[in-house]
């Protein structure tokens, strides 16, 4: 991975901490809306991580493949990701 791995790791650890907090909230039978809000906050972090990873992939691997004239594989991979994101 050629991305800013320190930033990605920090965000993933934050999401992990939030997930641990959500588990405690469920175990403590906290208010459903509070739990839902925390789930959405965690999802937002993970979307941000995914966007950063994909952006870095386009800027490095895909750009390099286009320069070499060998981009088909990467185009197919990106299309697969887009399909998953739009479901």
User: Residue 3: what pLDDT?
Assistant: 59
Q: Write the CATH number for 73.
A: 1.20.58.1000
pTM: 0.83
Integer Rg of the chain from CA: 17
- Report residue 2's pLDDT band, with 50, 70 and 90 as the boundaries: low
Three-class secondary structure of residue 3 per DSSP: coil
Three-class secondary structure of residue 42 per DSSP: helix
The number of folded domains in the chain is 1
- Whether the CB-CB separation of 17 and 66 falls below 8 Å is answered with no
Domain that holds residue 31: 5-85
Distance CA 7, CA 74 (A): 24
Q: What is the pLDDT of residues 5-15, one digit of tens each?
A: 899 999 999 99
Evaluate if residue 1 carries a pLDDT over 80. Answer: no
């Amino acid at each position: 991975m050629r991305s800013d791995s320190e930033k990605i790791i920090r965000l993933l650890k934050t999401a992990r901490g939030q997930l641990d907090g959500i588990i405690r909230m469920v175990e403590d039978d906290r208010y459903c809306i509070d739990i839902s809000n925390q789930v959405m906050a965690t999802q937002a972090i993970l979307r941000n991580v995914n966007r950063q990873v994909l952006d870095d992939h386009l800027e490095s691997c895909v750009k390099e493949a286009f320069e070499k004239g060998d981009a088909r594989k990467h185009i197919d991979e990106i299309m697969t990701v887009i399909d998953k994101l739009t479901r």
